[in-house]
């Protein structure tokens, strides 16, 4: 079992930055690929970024490429999402997930409760 707890969300002006954290517990955390997804009101949950179990490979949605950076600290069992140059369309609940990797929600077995990110124009 893996338990995930997100933090770091909040309200920020367009052009600003936030860093989300996802603290994981469970013995198998280090063997899972990790990802961030987001869901805006009335929309499907969508892939944002993923990092491999080793931290050596990352992958991003086109909408955030060049603005967001995903990383993981295996010693701290934590995954981060650094978000820069935020736009109002980035407003959503952001979820941390652990699983087999890729961009599909069904590839991830464990999910956090989500953290709200609101970007004002």
pLDDT in tens, the chain (121 residues): 789 999 999 999 999 999 999 999 987 777 889 999 999 999 999 999 999 988 889 999 999 999 999 999 989 999 999 999 999 999 999 999 999 989 999 999 999 999 999 999 9
The whole-angstrom separation of Cα 44 and Cα 64 is 17
Structure token pair of residue 80: 């981060």
Please give the pLDDT value at position 31.
84
The pLDDT, as a whole number, for residue 29 is 73
CB 20 within 8 A of CB 113: no
In angstroms, the CA 38 to CA 43 distance is 10
What pLDDT does residue 55 have? Answer: 85
Quick one: which of 107, 111, 83, 117 has its CA closest to 96? 111
């Amino acid at each position: 079992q893996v338990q995930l707890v997100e933090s770091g969300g909040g309200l920020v002006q367009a052009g600003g930055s936030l860093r989300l954290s996802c603290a994981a517990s469970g013995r198998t955390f280090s063997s899972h690929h990790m990802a961030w997804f987001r869901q805006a009101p009335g929309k499907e949950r969508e892939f944002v970024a993923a990092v491999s179990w080793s931290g050596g490979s990352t992958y991003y949605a086109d909408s955030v490429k060049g603005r967001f950076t995903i990383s993981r600290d295996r010693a701290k069992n934590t995954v981060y999402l650094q978000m820069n140059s935020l736009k109002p369309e980035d407003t959503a609940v952001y979820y941390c997930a652990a699983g087999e990797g890729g961009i599909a929600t069904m590839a991830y077995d464990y999910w956090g409760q989500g953290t709200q990110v609101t970007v004002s124009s």
